[in-house]
């Protein structure tokens, strides 16, 4: 890499790291629905009495059977929306439902039982596309996320467009270009980057991953892969790694 190119690529790689290592409370697709719904609830200004959710096919596939965090086991698209509407804090972005009370969890179940929620496919070329529309008597608010999980491209209230950035796939709000990623350049970046520039990102990632690992080893989740690996490698790994 030339000197100028090296500096430019370093800035690009740092930007990509920040985008990819954004904390999320659970699987990102249901959280994106919760975030979109929480934002729509904020714009509406009250709890809705009707909910319409339009989603791309890829979202249906990725959310259908996923347990939504902080809902006591609720699954799917409607549950994701209910979590965002009832307990969501949109300013927390992908940690939108990280702080949910026991009372709110019960309210989510009541909301799902009482409020009509219509889910339909969106005609879109985007892999990730979510449109949430909320109704409360004569009031209506809709928010659309498209392209990537935090990319709000449209906000409408009572027919008035409050924000729009290219309806599908925002033009001025994009992820950093991943086509510039090359193995040799990534290796050079990892070897040469100033640790101070990535310290906070990596410390947060290590903290999150370690907490996830400890939780997985302490409880019977899924296939218990961590426990299986430790049992099979117990002699080599040693008890201190448990």
What's the rounded Cα separation, in Å, for the pair 74 and 82? 10
Phi-psi region of 73 (alpha: psi -120 to 50; beta: other; left: phi over 0): left
Instruction: Output the tens digit of pLDDT for each of the chain's 242 residues.
Output: 444 467 788 888 888 888 778 666 557 899 999 999 999 999 999 999 999 999 999 999 989 888 898 999 999 999 999 999 999 999 999 889 999 999 999 999 999 999 999 999 999 988 899 999 999 999 999 999 998 888 999 999 999 999 988 555 444 445 677 777 888 888 888 888 889 988 988 898 898 888 888 888 888 777 778 888 887 776 565 555 55
What's the rounded Cα separation, in Å, for the pair 40 and 140? 9
């Amino acid at each position: 890499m030339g000197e100028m190119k090296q500096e430019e690529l370093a800035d690009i790689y740092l930007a990509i790291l920040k985008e990819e290592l954004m904390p999320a409370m659970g699987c990102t697709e249901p959280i994106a629905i919760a975030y979109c719904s929480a934002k729509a609830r904020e714009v509406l200004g009250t709890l809705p009495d009707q909910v319409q959710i339009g989603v791309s096919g890829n979202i249906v596939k990725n959310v259908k059977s996923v347990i939504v965090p902080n809902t006591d086991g609720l699954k799917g698209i409607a549950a994701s929306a209910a979590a965002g509407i009832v307990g969501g804090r949109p300013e927390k972005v992908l940690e939108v439902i990280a702080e949910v009370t026991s009372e709110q969890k019960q309210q989510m179940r009541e909301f799902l039982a009482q409020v009509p929620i219509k889910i339909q496919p969106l005609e879109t070329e985007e892999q990730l596309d979510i449109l949430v529309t909320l109704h409360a008597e004569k009031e209506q608010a809709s928010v659309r996320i498209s392209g990537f999980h935090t990319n709000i491209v449209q906000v409408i209230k009572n027919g008035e467009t409050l924000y729009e950035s290219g309806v599908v796939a925002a033009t001025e709000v994009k992820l950093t270009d991943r086509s510039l990623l090359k193995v040799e350049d990534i290796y050079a970046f990892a070897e040469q980057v100033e640790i101070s520039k990535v310290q906070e990102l990596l410390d947060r990632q290590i903290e999150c991953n370690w907490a996830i690992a400890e939780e997985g080893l302490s409880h019977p989740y899924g296939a218990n892969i961590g426990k299986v690996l430790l049992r099979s490698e117990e002699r080599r790994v040693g008890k201190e790694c448990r």
